[in-house]
Amino acid sequence: MMNRPLLDIIYSDEHIVVVNKPGGLLTIPGKGSEKTDCVTSRLKTLFPECIEQPSVHRLDQPTSGLLVLALNNDAHSNLSIQFQRREVEKEYIAVLEGIVDEDSGRIELPFRLDVDNRPYQIYDAVQGKLGITDWEKLEVSANTTRVRFKPHTGRTHQLRVHAAHEKGLGCPIVGDSLYGSAQQGDLLKLCAVKLAFKHPKTNEPLCFEIEEIF
């Protein structure tokens, strides 16, 4: 038996598995033996027939929520194309530090990796790649703002950068130790609550939704 928690499986068939990733768990293995425990390693333990690289998209380690993974090469190829063509619908719920004045909007912000401070991402109007996020204010409470994010691109740390940067919302996500004032290990209040795509074999529209835990 495994001495670690099993995956929270939302859906599975012979082609794909949809899981609810807990915050703090890597999507894929990191560098070093201490970073081998991840969604894909647990998936391969539960589904021995799974391909070597089942991941078609990722969530940051501190981010929780929905992930779809492929069990075979055909499913992996199909899903990867859907993500590349931006045909996958994704929604996130986040709680931000501070009060956002506007009710909704679109953030279009170019950014790139800070090569001297990995994995930190920095605004760069010249060399940065554009990240696009629609957002909607849901609730204001105790000097925080709950928002819904709908990203149209999938850049590294996109929602965290778009929330924190002054050219975005100017309010970092609660629990973000990289772009906000939180301490390492604090709960990042960012959850992927909706994931919609076409089944890679049947082409049937699929939509999965969960409730955030914060």
* Residue bearing tokens 């068939």: 13
Domains 9-88+196-209 and 91-190 share a fold: yes
The pLDDT of residue 3 is above 60:
no
Report pLDDT for 58: 96
Which CATH homologous superfamily contains domain 9-88+196-209? Pseudouridine synthase (3.30.2350.10)
Per-residue confidence band for 1, with pLDDT thresholds at 50, 70 and 90: very low
Q: What distances in angstroms separate CA 189 from CA 22, 65, 120, 170, 171, one per listed residue?
A: 12, 11, 18, 16, 13
At residue 99, the pLDDT reads 97
Strand-pairing partners, residue 21, are 65
Total residue length of the chain = 214
Query: Is the predicted pLDDT of residue 2 greater than 70, yes or no?
Result: no
**Tens digit of pLDDT for each residue in 187-197?**
999 999 999 99
pLDDT surpassing 80 at residue 61 = yes
The residue ranges of every structural domain in the chain are 9-88+196-209, 91-190
Residue 75 pLDDT > 60, yes or no? yes
Dump pLDDT digits (tens) for 107-144.
Answer: 999 999 999 999 999 999 999 999 999 999 999 998 99
Look at residue 4 and tell me whether its pLDDT is greater than 70: no
pLDDT band at 201 (very low <50, low <70, confident <90, very high): very high
Q: Which residues contact 168 (CB under 8 A, 6 or more apart)?
A: 107, 109, 161, 162
The predicted model gives 76-105 an average pLDDT of: 98
Q: Report percent pLDDT > 90 for the chain.
A: 92
What is the model's pLDDT at position 5? 58
What confidence score (pLDDT) does residue 191 get?
98
Catalytic residue numbers, as ranges: 60
Give mean pLDDT, residues 82-106. Answer: 97
Indicate the fold that domain 91-190 takes in CATH.
Answer: Pseudouridine synthase (3.30.2350)
Place of tokens 């799974």: 50
Res 69: pLDDT: 98
If you average pLDDT over every residue of the chain, what do you get?
Answer: 95
Answering whether pTM is above 0.85, one says yes
The DSSP-derived string for the chain is: --SSPPP-EEEE-SSEEEEEEPTT-BSS--SSGGG--BHHHHHHHH-TTS-S--BSS---TT-EEEEEEESSHHHHHHHHHHHHTT--EEEEEEEEES---SSEEEEEEEEEE-TTSTT-EEE-TTTPEEEEEEEEEEEEETTEEEEEEEESS--TTHHHHHHHSTTTTS-PBTT-TTTSSPPTTPPP-EEEEEEEEE-TTT--EEEEE-----
